[in-house]
A and B are shown apart, each in its own frame.
Chain A
Amino acid sequence: MHKLSPQELEIAQLIITTLGLEDIQASDIDPQEPLFNEGLGLDSIDALELALAISKKYGFQLRSDDDKNAQIFSSLRALSEHIENNRS
């Protein structure tokens, strides 16, 4: 069990419902573990799905030429911070 902030919990839920990961719970996600490859084993299809869900829920578009792109998806915590800084 991991302790997540309310914002991290909300995004963890979004990841689970968007990507069909119903076999895990939000608190199973380590907020500092990588979301892709190693951690949850997500791939680039998931990145697109997630970007879409984020744009619908938080009202901004992700960009891949953003230098911080790799960092944004590096962990739940990093993603949560990026959303907090960019949401409209």
Chain B
Amino acid sequence: MRFMQHSPQPLFEHAADQPIALRSGCAITANTFLHHALALASELPERHYGINLCEDRYHFLIGFAAILLKGQTNLLPPSHSAKTIQSIAQRYDDCYCLLDHDFSELHLPQHRFSVPEVTAADVLAQDVPAHDIPRIPYQHIACIPFTSGSTGTPNPNPKTWGRLLKVTKLIQHAFAIANDQPLTIVATVPPQHMYGLETSILLPLVSGSCMYSGRPFYPEDVRQALGSIDGAKILITTPIHLRACVQAGLSFPAVDFIISATAPLPVELAEQAEQAFSSKVLEIYGCTEFGSLANRRTAAGDPWRLFDGLWLSEDQAGGDFLVNADFLDAPVALSDQIEILPRQRFRLLGRKTDMINIAGKRASMADLNLKLLAIPGIKDGVIFYPEEKADTVTRVAAFVVAPELTPQQILQELKQHFDAAFLPRPIFQVSELPREKSGKLPRKNLLTLWKQMSQQPIQPLKQSTAD
């Protein structure tokens, strides 16, 4: 039987007295963590799925582990909007929400928990009974992260515990993180997304390192978080946070290295960030369907290096590029065009579908446009992705022929269907779209019109018919 080939795997690799989390300035040992996780597991509802919505990273870790210990599966929604969570709960009706904060708008079964503040005195007292490290079945579906569908229907990506560990060990190896060296991992990204889960939850478990429980958001938060940590530390973040940090002009404590993912990191920004943090900035390439699969030092202009043990192939029938590993049941298709180079190297040549990625959220342009054109009162219209600017996040913009509607009314309609990241801005009212005689709407025509309109002084708004 297949599952017999894979033995159960330990929940973590720490020694009992090794720190696993740093919370409010206090190091929490692996044994204390396990004590918290077992206590929570014993009080969880008897259901199959726990939607883990914990905001504090240590609470998320306890929740993640407790759900596994109870033999359940973590559901990890792409956003924390009540609507998204409810749409997931509809498909997994044997579920409850695991929370460490109030969420009264959420009309679903909730299990709210709190962990007593651990103080330095508690740690010294060592009054927690010693526990053996539990093992989780290799084939257990540990979690289901969802990719954010622009349509509001998130797509599930079930992950077994064994596969999560395999990919995390590839990350550990690629970044040369040793199990016997103390390291604290600080992350600005949420643990509910694949990148944040792998780097800020699973990497500490697998490498015996320590996670910082907070989620620094503003540059000043990042500065203070890093300043509060003695010894080796790495920062897990995104191009958006790095840009904010670089532009804030603060003086940041040095870190061992920085990992960036979710969106392409411009070389210039990578160089600036390396200066600001006096460290290397390494970029991860991956996707929710597989997880992290390659890295590179962006400022050095390196091509991507596929993690050892993986290989790329091209699906001759569909033209997809596939990532392969001996632990996968089937290769995973990537949504990028790739040039495969020798010695595990490759280059990304751009998206091959109409998918766009804004701050790690993906949407199909065709789908966004269908939603736009479905709004009553829009006679013609297009949502498009303007040329990227180096110093800011590029959003989609729209041209609409809708003489009876104001841009705000259109926005209100789109908000019902889109994640905020894909709301077009600005929405330009035009008398007609720059179509060719054939009716085609070439991108160069859109960009020309867009340049003209964005250089003009702001047009006075048409009065809403409702006024």
A residues bordering B, Cβ < 8 Å?
Answer: 19-25, 28, 36-37, 41-45, 47-49, 51-52, 55, 61-65
Contacts and interface: CB of A to CB of B under 8 A. Distances in A.
Contacts of B423: 41
B426 A20 contact: yes
B315 interface: no
Contacts of A36: 420
B221 A48 contact: no
Interface of B: 81, 214-221, 224, 240-241, 244, 247-248, 250, 358-359, 392-393, 395, 407-408, 411, 415, 419-421, 423, 425-429, 454, 458, 461
Contacts of B392: 20, 49
A36 B224 CA distance: 26
Task: Tell me which of B241, B420, B454 has the highest count of chain A C-beta atoms within 10 A of its own C-beta.
Answer: B420
Given A23-B425, A24-B408, A41 B216 contact: no
B241 A48 contact: yes
Given A20-B425, A21-B426, A23-B426, A61 B415 contact: no
A64 B244 contact: no
B214 A52 contact: no
Nearest to B360: A45
Given A45-B359, A48-B244, A55-B248, A22 B218 contact: no
Chain B interface, DSSP helix/strand/loop, else mixed: mixed
20 contacts: A21-B426, A22-B425, A22-B426, A23-B407, A23-B425, A36-B420, A41-B420, A44-B217, A45-B393, A45-B421, A48-B218, A48-B241, A51-B219, A52-B244, A55-B219, A61-B219, A61-B220, A64-B216, A64-B217, A64-B218
- Residue from A24, A36, A47, A49 with most neighbouring chain B CB atoms (10 Å): A24
Contacts of B393: 45, 49
A10 to B, nearest CB: 16
A52 B248 contact: yes
B461 A43 contact: no
- A-B pairs, top 6 by smallest CB distance, nearest first, are A61-B220, A23-B426, A43-B420, A64-B217, A23-B407, A48-B244
Contacts of A47: 217
Contacts of A62: 218, 220
A37 B36 CA distance: 34
Contacts of A22: 425-426, 454, 458
Contacts of B395: 20
Given A20-B395, A24-B407, A51-B244, A65 B250 contact: no
Contacts of B426: 20-23
A32 to B, nearest CB: 16
Contact of B240 (A25, A28, A45): A45
A23 B414 CA distance: 15
Nearest to B420: A43
Contacts of A23: 407, 425-429, 461
Given A20-B395, A37-B81, A64 B240 contact: no
Nearest to A38: B415
A52 B426 CA distance: 21
